[in-house]
Amino acid sequence: MKEYITTAIIELFTGLVGLNKKQADRRPGQVKEIKGKKGVYEVITPIQLKAGEVITLDPDKVTLAKLDLTEKGLAQETAEKEALIEAEVQRRLAEEKVKAEAEAKKKAAKK
């Protein structure tokens, strides 16, 4: 889940959303706190969030159009991208090492 700020009124009908205590307290009976996950709530009945509210969420594409990443959300996204790039670099290096070892074995076998 990433941190976003709402840019328009949005409605959430199901799923998990990260709210602060004040936001959750304004929605009694609409959200239920997930045990062991501080600040994460399950949407029980539809909730509406006004523009300017900071939430954490894994949004669908329609909802994403009404959100902007906060600085924290941008940092999370950047870290995720960097981790993916690093994993890809490590995968390619391992692949090249395997190829080099196979070629070295071929050359040694020809001698």
- For the stretch 34-72, pLDDT in tens is 999 999 999 999 999 999 999 999 888 778 888 887 777
Give domain status of residue 104, yes or no. Answer: no
Give domain status of residue 28, yes or no. Answer: yes
Tokens of 103: 């070629």
Give domain status of residue 24, yes or no. Answer: yes
Q: Which residues pair with 57 in a beta bridge?
A: 2
**Percent of the chain surpassing pLDDT 90:** 52
Give domain status of residue 90, yes or no. Answer: no
Give domain status of residue 54, yes or no. Answer: yes
Give domain status of residue 108, yes or no. Answer: no
The position carrying tokens 């205590």 is 21
Please give the residue range of the domain that contains residue 14: 2-69
Give domain status of residue 65, yes or no. Answer: yes
Q: What sections of the chain are H helices per DSSP?
A: 21-25, 61-64, 71-110
Q: Which residues of 55-72 are buried (b: 16+ CB within 10 A; e: fewer)?
A: bbbebeeebeebbebbee
> Does 25 have pLDDT greater than 90?
yes
Into how many domains does the chain fold? 1
